[in-house]
Amino acid sequence: MLDLLNAWLISPFDYGFMRRAVVGGLALSLAAPPLGVFLVLRGMSLIGDAMAHAIIISLAAGVMLISIGGSSVDLTHVLFGSILAINSTALLLIAGISTLIVVTLAIVFRALVVECLDPLFLRGQSRRSGWVHSVFLGLLVLNLTAGFQTLGTLMAVGLMMLPATSARFWSKRLEGLIGIAIVLAMVASTGGLLLSFHLDIPSGPSIILLAGVGYLFSALFGRYHSLAAKLRRKTTPLAVEQGS
């Protein structure tokens, strides 16, 4: 049993490319889900997707220019990511961006919470309250930039939004939402890499697919607003009546 666990969970990380990939995935898992939580709370869950699509339009222009120049460079990694192929320089970039996002979120955390709950109060306290929104959007762009390096343009939003929306089925507190979203993202990124290694499937889609499975499980069995929670609310009054 121990040999099987070692072969499936530990041995893959004997390879340098797997170690770099998991570090990059964990770094993104620390930075992306909190942004996703605030996007959901602010009713802006489609903003990240809109930004990703806007960047894809820009990438299309770049691809056209490269094609006109007659280059034969393979650009599929731009769309689907290359987390298994990131080098030390890219890893440092991802780690640096993730650290900057986490530190900045810690600094503006209280202002972000107030803006989510009562934006009019924040505007009344300061005429410069718009800087909070601008800083948040800047962090969002930085996160997408780091995500494109590993997961590609088509799936970078997934690691940010899927764990954040899944967490809403397990907690009603902001701290709980952020903590659960980070854990789910870490499990998805690490588990997706292991699936990619053992089953010889693309790493980016594996990570997002696993995050999607986590969302489906949460929607079915989560503590709040899930299908199981709704069934419990329907059966509880019947049980109370029978007991009385």
pLDDT in tens, 83-103: 888 888 888 988 999 999 999
Segments of the chain with pLDDT less than 70: 44-56, 58-81, 119-129, 153-154, 236-244
Q: Cα 60 to chain center, whole Å?
A: 24
Map tokens 């397990």 to a residue: 170
Residue 168 phi/psi, 5-degree rounding, is -65, -20
Kindly tell me the burial class for residue 43, based on how many C-beta atoms sit within 10 Å of its own C-beta (0-12, 13-18, 19 or more): exposed
**CA–CA separation, 163 and 34 (whole Å):** 9
The DSSP symbol for 7 reads: I
**14: closest CA among 197, 188, 186, 201?**
197
Residue 142: its pLDDT value, please?
86
Residue 27: its pLDDT value, please?
93
**CA–CA separation, 195 and 202 (whole Å):** 9
Task: Tell me what percent of the residues of the chain surpass a pLDDT of 90.
Answer: 37
**CA–CA separation, 27 and 98 (whole Å):** 6
**CA–CA separation, 33 and 40 (whole Å):** 10
The DSSP symbol for 81 reads: -
**CA–CA separation, 124 and 87 (whole Å):** 48
Q: What pTM was estimated for this model as a whole? A: 0.82
Rounded (10°) angle between helices 203-221 and 156-167? 20
Show the tokens assigned to 105.
Answer: 């979120």
Residue 241: its pLDDT value, please?
43
